[in-house]
Amino acid sequence: MSINVVTLVGRAGRDPDVRYFESGSVVCKFSLAVDRRSRNNDQPDWFNVEMWGRTAEVAANYVRKGSLIGVTGSLKLDQWTDRATGATRSSPVIRVERLELLGSRKENEGAMPANYADDEF
């Protein structure tokens, strides 16, 4: 048995980067700043998040830099070969399955329901 579940609450570090594909798929990526529970640490931890399908569309329409959101998903490792050096590089990414808009009503005025889960896997 294996478990790969990540749940984070934080603020969007930038506006979402949205890409539409000819196949009809859509992907949305941005960074998420999450405060660590520590008295001495005033720097957030930064996570790259990725959403697909309807969840990506909701994020594109309602998440902006600074928006407070909650995400649940899984950790994946993106790997590629560096063109300059030929070295294998990797970067952890949170593959979001559920998005919750947690900001104030004023922040999310006209927004979708407070949470949204993608069922397009």
Query: Which pLDDT tens digit goes with each residue over 6-35?
Result: 999 999 999 999 999 999 999 999 999 998
91 within 8 A of 78, measured Cβ to Cβ: yes
H or E stretch at 74: strand 68-81
Q: How far is CA 80 from the centre of its chain?
A: 20
User: pTM for the full model?
Assistant: 0.78
Each residue of 35-79: pLDDT tens digit? 887 777 678 899 999 999 999 999 999 999 999 999 999 999 999
Q: How far apart are CA 67 and CA 63, in angstroms?
A: 6
Q: Has residue 106 got a pLDDT over 80?
A: no
Other C-beta atoms closer than 10 Å to the C-beta of 87 total: 9
Domains recognised in the chain with CATH numbers = 6-106 (2.40.50.140)
Burial of 71 (0-12, 13-18, 19+ CB in 10 A): buried
Query: Residue 120: pLDDT band by 50, 70, 90 thresholds?
Result: very low
